[in-house]
Structures are given as C-alpha cells and as structure tokens.
Amino acid sequence: MLKQRVILIVVAILLIVIIYNLPRIVVNNNPDIDLGEEEKAIIVSQGLKEDERVSELHSLELGSDDIRKINQFKIDFSQNSIEDRLAFADSIAHIYLKYNKFDSAAKYLEYVAINNPGMIQYEEAGDAYFESFSFAMDREKAENFGDKARNYYSEILKKQPERFDLRNKIAMTHISSSNPMQGIIMLRQILEEDPGNEMALYNLGTLSVQSGQYDRAVEYFNQLVSINPQNMQAQFYLGLSYYELGDKGKARKQFELVKGIEDDPAVIATVEGYLKELN
C-alpha cells in the first residue's frame, strides 16, 4: 500500500498533479460559509489536472483462465433465475476485484445489493463504487460513482452511525465534487467526535499536501504518527512535508525511519532519492 502511495505522490510532485484524480474545477456553492485559507487552498488544489499515467498504476490485465470463468459466469447469469444469478454476479465481481477492475465489479455487486439487500452487500457495492470514483478519469463517471458510493454508505450509516470509516469516505467524495466545503466540514466533524481518528487525520494531511499547506500537513501527520507510529504512509508524508518546508534535519530523520522499516525496493529507492537530495 505504501508503495502505491509513494508512486502517486512522486508523480504528483514531478507533474504538478493531485492524488485524488478527478480533473475538474470546483467551487464553493455555499456563499454563506466564510472560507479560511486552508479551505481555499484545498479547493483550488482540486482543480489541477491529473496525468493519465496515474490511473495506469491501477490497471491489470485479466488472466486467460479468469476471462474464461467470467464468460461462463455471464452465460450462467443470463440463463438463470434472479435467485441463482446472485451467486454468479458475486463470482464475476470478485474476479474483477482481483484485477482492480472496480467499475466492472461495482455493477455486479450493485445487482447483488439490490436483489439481496443487507449491510454486507451495501458495503461491498459502496466500496467498489468508491474505488471506481477514486480512479475515474471522466468527470461524469466520477460524479456517478461518487453518488452511488454515498448512497450505499448512507444506508449503512442509518443503522451504524458510528462508522467513521464510511463517513470519511463520503467526505472524500464531496472533496472532489462541486461542493468540497461539505467534505472538509465532515472531516472536521469526525475529529471533533473522535480526535484520534486516523483516517480523518490522514485525509486532512494529504489534502494539505495537495494544496501546498505543508505546515498544516506536519500538524496532522505528527498527530497521526503519535497515535500509530507504524503508519508508514503518514511517516512518509511527514518526511515529505518537512522536505517541502526546507527542514532538512527532520525530513532526513523521517526518511531514514521509513527506509529502516519498509522493505519494498520501490519505496526504498524513492526514499533514498530524497535522502540523496538532502545530503
């Protein structure tokens, strides 16, 4: 997971793009809300265009055996009753998930959720649509995926309002929408209710990095690593934030920490690149 995040942030730095890849311009649709500098910077950052190579990092080719399975399952799906189709739809979806084909998986998981509604089914469909939203390159598709993810997560929250993880995901779909302020408010509400919420701290930290507010990013990531020192993504971003602020000593310390714990060659190479620049 850290390897993927490191690759994304390196692409972002080199090509001046953002991690959450929705190429759109966003505005504040609520003129009654007085935006602070942090919110303004985050909103502006969401309008930057993403390089297509970012999405390619998540594209995998289906194996020939799995292609045959999918084709057979689709035939079985079309020839059976609704009750029997559920199992075939679920099987097709999970093969697609194995290859990160989230949009393809989402359609079948949605079929399951509609015809066999339940908390597990809602969450699987919501997760697939959330991942589809996260990597969508087309604005219209991204909006559609985000809407569907919110709908399924909202159904779960009606019975499980304590699910901060789902509230975080809903907030992030708003961040890249035409009303990002709603997402920022949601993330801050989560921290008000749960000051140590790792996902909210991480989301606000990465948003601060994206918008160039590295001092704020340091605050969020410092709080996060004090709660969970094993969060290597936060440790890396903390080092990156110190690096961008010109604090070479603290940046070096963070990158050395990540290098000493992480064993992925790609991550180590990235960190060593920063360390070389700091020497």
112, 88 in Cβ contact below 8 A? no
Q: What is the mean pLDDT of residues 221-226?
A: 98
Place of tokens 């303004």: 40
Can you give the pLDDT at residue 54?
36
18, 175 in Cβ contact below 8 A? no
Residue 170 has pLDDT above 70, yes or no: yes
**Lowest-confidence segment of 4-13, 75-84, 195-204 by average pLDDT:** 4-13
Q: What is the mean pLDDT of residues 147-160?
A: 97
Can you give the pLDDT at residue 38?
56
d(CA 223, CA 234): 10
Segment 34-53, tens digit of pLDDT: 445 555 444 444 443 333 33
245, 215 in Cβ contact below 8 A? yes
For the ranges 17-26, 118-127, 141-150, 179-188, the one whose mean pLDDT is highest: 118-127
Q: Which residues of 59-76 are buried (b: 16+ CB within 10 A; e: fewer)?
A: eeebeeeeeeebeebeee
Place of tokens 């602070």: 36
Q: What residues contact 190, with CB distance under 8 A and at least 6 apart?
A: 164, 167, 168, 171, 197, 199, 200
Can you give the pLDDT at residue 51?
33
Residue 26 has pLDDT above 70, yes or no: no
What does DSSP assign to residue 177? S
Residue 176 has pLDDT above 70, yes or no: yes
88: pLDDT confidence band, cut at 50, 70 and 90?
very high
Can you give the pLDDT at residue 44?
43
